[in-house]
Structure 1
Amino acid sequence: MSAGAVVQAALVAALRADGDVTGAVTAVFDAPPVRSARPWLMVEEPVLTPWGTKDAEGWEARISMLAEDEGERPLRLRRLVETVGAAVEGVPGDLGEGWRLVTLAVLRSRIVRAGSQRWTAVIELRARMLRVD
């Protein structure tokens, strides 16, 4: 598995294992849902840039997570953004497939109106990982 696929799968697994996250959304996806009730959360494919050392392959992944909800105000999405930030702290350092997570940080988040009563939250993360095999 590629470094991007490994870190995306680890994030999806950590979010699905967190009771606060699963209690706040109908589902956590790794691709855009075809049909799902709102609110839902999706971990997008990472954008990778080289982040290695002289003797170890490494990648920096920029990962966006999208959440959609309905309502007059984005109250549930505000709580979800905080919940997701806490949940990603539980991603294990050993990602599997020979990859080790060095750092994982929430960079920024934003909530925007996506329709008359629809809202979208974007949460951006940075993960740095090294090959350890």
Structure 2
Amino acid sequence: MSGALEAVQHSLYSALNAHQPFMDAIDGIYDGPPPRARFPYLALATGASLDWSFKGGVGRELSLALTVHDDGDSAARLHRIMALVEEALAAGLTDPDDWQIITFDFRRTRVLRNAVSPWSGLVEYRARVLRRDFI
């Protein structure tokens, strides 16, 4: 049942897209790294979906990974953009159709870079959702 992940990612995209300071700081939001995007940009990764059901309902625990890619000389701009991601999502997400978001939690951030690639900043969240026809 991948519908939960897709629905929550759509709410995540909407929340980020509505935060103008974040959108002003990046080229765009993509579903995975695009072939020819200008830096900096954000890529949504397909996350893990685990069973979070109970006797009376269907639920999922979702891992949501957002990666900011930047080719700056230092990580300063990357850190500012990652902070804007957290700011944009601080109020949580709007419940998508057919699902209720029970919890939406920040998990971690991580910055990576090797000598031949741009900066990558991971911002990870966890969402627990229940299908509405069981609520």
TM over 0.5: yes
Are 1:57 and 2:58 matched, yes or no? yes
Higher strand fraction (1 or 2):
1
Moved more, 120-129 or 29-38: 29-38
Query: Which structure 2 residues correspond to residues 15-34 of structure 1 after superposition, within 5 A?
Result: 15-34=16-35
Alignment of 1:1-133 (within 5 A): 2-96=3-97, 98-116=98-116, 118-133=118-133
User: 1:37, 1:27 → 2: CA distance?
Assistant: 8
Shift of 1:46: 2.0
What's the CA shift for 1:20? 1.5
- Deviation at 1:31? 2.7
- The answer for unaligned runs of 5 or more in structure 1 is none
Q: Deviations over 1:29-77 (max 9, x none)?
A: 1232121100000111121001122111000001111111112211111
SS at 1:95's partner residue?
A: coil
Structure 1: 4+ residue segments shifted above 4 A: none
Report the residue type matching 1:10 in the other structure.
S
CA RMSD of aligned residues (A): 1.6
- Separation (CA, whole Å) in 1 of partners of 2:58 and 2:28: 34
Identity rate, percent: 30
The letter of the residue matching 2:126 is: R
- Matched-pair contact (CA < 8 Å) for 2:12–2:93: no
Contact 1:43–1:66, Cα closer than 8 Å, also in 2: yes
Partner Cα separation in structure 1 for residue 125 and residue 93 of structure 2? 15
* More deviation, 76-85/110-119: 110-119
Relative to the length of structure 2, the TM-score reads 0.89
- For normalisation by structure 1, the TM-score amounts to 0.91
Q: Which stretches in structure 2 are left out of the alignment for 5+ residues?
A: none
Distance of 2:5 and 2:89 partners within structure 1: 16
